[in-house]
Structure 1
Amino acid sequence: MCDLELCLFTVCVCDLELCLFSESEKVHTFRGPHWCEYCANFMWGLIAQGVHCSDCGLNVHKQCSKLVPSDCQPDLRRIKKVFSCDLTTLVKAHNTTRPMVVDMCIKEIELRGLQSEGLYRVSGFSEHIEDVRLAFDRDGEKADISANVYNDINIIAGALKLYLRDLPIPVITFHVYSKFIQAAKMPNPDTRLEAIHEGLLLLPPAHYETLRYLMMHLKKVTMFEKDNFMNSENLGIVFGPTLMQPPEQNALATLNDMRHQKLIIQLLIEHEDVLF
């Protein structure tokens, strides 16, 4: 088969595959390694590895997509993991407004860690953070992250950052990333806040609620700045790249955007009561 015939054949096959799925489900090419959120097995191939649902963000094998309920409510028994699972998919599966990882970690940190020096900046032991990840993936909301098991609060803070960093779609989604970056570049403070607020309204409900709750928490962290030495600027440096990732992996653009990412998170923390 010549190259032209091969290309035409590939196009025909892709068109046929697209017809098998609903309008919200499209054959998708994922960046980097990706796992099916239905069966938890690896998606093989370099292109068109699986199907992406634009409604709920579910990423699955083509065959698995036929088994996912049409209302985008995945069967909880089929969700094999918590970390690296799409945020919208996870909250719909558990029928919550936010991921229980975020709720549980923040509750634990506010219980015993707000005065911890360098909170979120100081790293916990990576192997212990990995233990927390495995506990959530294995036990879900029954995972024990109390001081009896993890005395160092930096482990819990590290696990929360890992969860947010490993989301396949960041909390501030790829779709609105450029809008937030443009807002950060605006010289007028009032116009800038207005643009940020407009960007927040474009976020999917689960992303909006997760970001709102996290900013409320980080605002509390800044209230203990005399003890933990973490003000809104420091937290912006830590959480900027965690919550915001550019749609295209360009090292130079990413480097240039870091100060804007920091500023956005800093403003979200400082003006949490106005923006949300």
Structure 2
Amino acid sequence: MTYEGIYRKTGGMGQTKLITLYFERGLAFDLQDRDKFNDIAAITSCMKNYFRSLPVPLMTHDLHEDFVAAAELPEGDERLQAIERVLYQLPPAHFHTARLLFRHLNHVKSLSAENKMTSANLGVVFGPTVLRSPIPAREWSDMGPKAKLVEILCDHAEALFAKPFPPTSTA
């Protein structure tokens, strides 16, 4: 977790391909086996590649515009509440995966003095990976809001994912 640039650096192709092969074939393997897997960036590259290759992005095409609009609101409680509302519209598997991912990235961010991965850096790396427009021409124009959304999710993961899913009604 303290490896400098843990999610910014690209891993070696040999180990990245091997991990991907094992994963795709459902083979058992131990990423803590330092003789076989000694490139931390290969492991993190596999994770980024996995999220990037999902046919439906983690933050879903259907909710893309809502996430972008929420991220573009002025800083403050209204923006956090808007993001939270959209998060709880995700399909259950996407929500639970996002909760694990962003709590993990929050922890990575907490070690940024050593790993140099601030929430802004994580936003740049993971924004286009977990949030993709269904309109390919929008990918570049949405880059800023996507990075900002991931930055906010990293900074506020515990609060944004605090409620049970699905959220209970308070009526």
Same fold at TM > 0.5: yes
- Residue 31 of structure 2 aligns with which residue? 145
Deviations 1:211-252 (A, max 9, x none): 0001111111111111111110000000000000001111xx
CA distance in 2, matches of 1:132, 1:249: 29
- Name the aligned partner's letter for residue 202 of structure 1: Q
SS in 1 for 2:18: helix
- Residue 154 of structure 2 aligns with which residue? 269
| 1:215 equivalenced with 2:106 (yes/no) | no
Offset of residue 127 of structure 1: 3.2
CA distance in 1, matches of 2:148, 2:102: 14
- Name the aligned partner's letter for residue 275 of structure 1: L
Offset of residue 137 of structure 1: 1.2
- Residue 234 of structure 1 aligns with which residue? 121
Offset of residue 255 of structure 1: 1.0
* Larger relative contact order (CA 8 Å, sep ≥ 6): 2
- Residue 90 of structure 2 aligns with which residue? 203
SS in 2 for 1:215: helix
CA distance in 2, matches of 1:206, 1:137: 19
- Cα RMSD of the aligned pairs, angstroms, is 1.1
- Residue 140 of structure 2 aligns with which residue? 255
Deviations 1:159-197 (A, max 9, x none): 111111111111000011100001111125211111100
Aligned length: 160
- Name the aligned partner's letter for residue 116 of structure 1: Y
SS in 2 for 1:256: coil
- Name the aligned partner's letter for residue 58 of structure 2: V
- Residue 76 of structure 1 aligns with which residue? none
Out of 47, 53, 56, the position equivalent to 1:166 is 53
Gaps (5+ residues) in structure 2? 162-171
SS in 2 for 1:255: coil
Out of 70, 73, 76, the position equivalent to 1:189 is 76
**Which structure has the greater CA radius of gyration?**
1
Q: Is the 8 Å Cα contact of residues 135 and 144 (structure 1) preserved in structure 2?
A: no
Offset of residue 144 of structure 1: 3.0
CA distance in 2, matches of 1:270, 1:188: 13
After TM superposition, where is structure 1 displaced by more than 6 Å over at least 4 residues in a row?
Answer: none
CA distance in 2, matches of 1:139, 1:261: 32
TM-score (norm. length: structure 2) = 0.90
- Name the aligned partner's letter for residue 247 of structure 1: P
- Name the aligned partner's letter for residue 150 of structure 1: F
Gaps (5+ residues) in structure 1? 1-113
TM-score (norm. length: structure 1) = 0.56
Q: Is the 8 Å Cα contact of residues 120 and 238 (structure 1) preserved in structure 2?
A: yes
Deviations 1:74-121 (A, max 9, x none): xxxxxxxxxxxxxxxxxxxxxxxxxxxxxxxxxxxxxxxx11011100
Offset of residue 143 of structure 1: 2.7
